[in-house]
Amino acid sequence: MEISCDESGSEGEKLIGGNTDVFTHASVRMDVESAASCIRGIRDRGPSPAVEYKANVLLREKNRRALTWLLGPSGPIYGKAHVHLTDKTFVVVGKLAGLLAGETAPAPGPERDRQVTAMAATLYREGRRAFGHERWQAFLEAFNDLMRAGNGRGPGTSAEAFFGMVDDLCLIGAGSEVGEIMGLLHRARPRVDSFLTRLLDDPRMIPALDPLIPAIVRAVVHWGEGTRPVSIVHDRQTALTEERVARIREMLGEARPGGLPWPSGGLLAGLRFVASHEDPRIQVADLLAGAARKIASDELNGRGDAELTALLRPYVDAFSIWGDDRSWSLLESVSGTRP
């Protein structure tokens, strides 16, 4: 089985204070001619002189008819596409919770400990309320910078400065659940220091926060149903080095229930890169990823478009990485349940 993929909202490991608050990864299962026909249908309903039709064109209000046709139940991708959503802030608090719980892998596997998930949810829900928006945002940015220590770059925030912020938050949040978590973080400094040392010393370590890797894992599991091998055609992506593709294979192995044997070649049968303008299937994935990011981000920030959110819902992965309960209740697929 071959799927075609693209993403939207990628800023590497800069998840806090960047240009986007949501990352999306879209995958489609279409042949080249069907995808080319889909692009022609979009152009017919939303004309543009652009050589390559991009999501920013599709999202213009004057092209709404093209967007609703693309996503609608009688449209060309219904039942043939899948979108994994990532709330970037939830990734950051999830990594913090993972370190506290003793998670040692650079990127978490597909099944996280319930304790980690619960702690991340508490941080996400209560952090801003307990410490105020500016102080909480500064803390998250500092932790984000600290975790971006790999790939030959030092952390943008020193460990000393970060743990100074932790001490302040312990005092401010004393007596609250989130304050207790800050106390755990204070006591976990040796573990955090050890993790940072690994990031700095081993150039082969994959990024600690890049949302692309877990999104690809979910695409393979979704299309292969956890048993069949899947081959990926992806838009050119420098972040997918050989080491990171190897980690994806490991994570897929971890997802196999009961240690069952892999299909021949593993669940990820292959991954090759093609420029989007050379393959209409990737253009379709690009349009879906870009539209999904805008729709999901608007819903996350309380300005959602009810019609577009409803149209996106059937495509959304039930195991998307999402922290906000209100917006998730509107975005989750009908058959999906919150992990």
Instruction: Identify the band that residue 73 occupies on the pLDDT scale cut at 50, 70 and 90.
Output: very high
- Please check whether residue 135 is in contact with residue 120, taking contact to mean a CB–CB distance below 8 angstroms: no
The amino acid sitting at 270 is G
Q: Among residues of the chain, what percentage have pLDDT more than 90?
A: 68
Residue pointed to by tokens 């089985």: 1
For 129, counting Cβ atoms within 10 Å of its Cβ (0-12 exposed, 13-18 middle, 19+ buried), the class is: exposed
**Helix H segments across the chain?**
32-45, 55-58, 64-71, 88-100, 114-131, 133-147, 159-172, 177-187, 189-201, 212-224, 242-254, 280-300, 306-312, 325-331
pLDDT of residue 337: 38
Instruction: Identify the band that residue 107 occupies on the pLDDT scale cut at 50, 70 and 90.
Output: low
Q: In terms of DSSP bridges, do strands 22-28 and 230-234 run parallel, antiparallel, or are they unpaired?
A: unpaired
Q: In terms of DSSP bridges, do strands 230-234 and 2-8 run parallel, antiparallel, or are they unpaired?
A: parallel
Whole-Å CA distances, 223 to 67, 122, 236, 261, 335: 24, 32, 21, 18, 16
* Nearest by Cα to 99 from 184, 8, 218, 197: 184
pLDDT of residue 339: 38
- Rounded to an integer, the average pLDDT of 289-296 is 98
| pLDDT tens digits, 139-156 | 999 999 988 865 555 556
pTM of the full structure? 0.90
Residue 50 tokens read as 């652009």
> Between 32-45 and 280-300, two packed helices, what is the crossing angle to 10 degrees?
60
Domains and CATH numbers, the chain: 2-87+209-331 (3.30.420), 88-201 (no CATH)
Task: Give the whole-angstrom CA distance, residue 134 versus residue 119.
Answer: 21
pLDDT of residue 24: 98
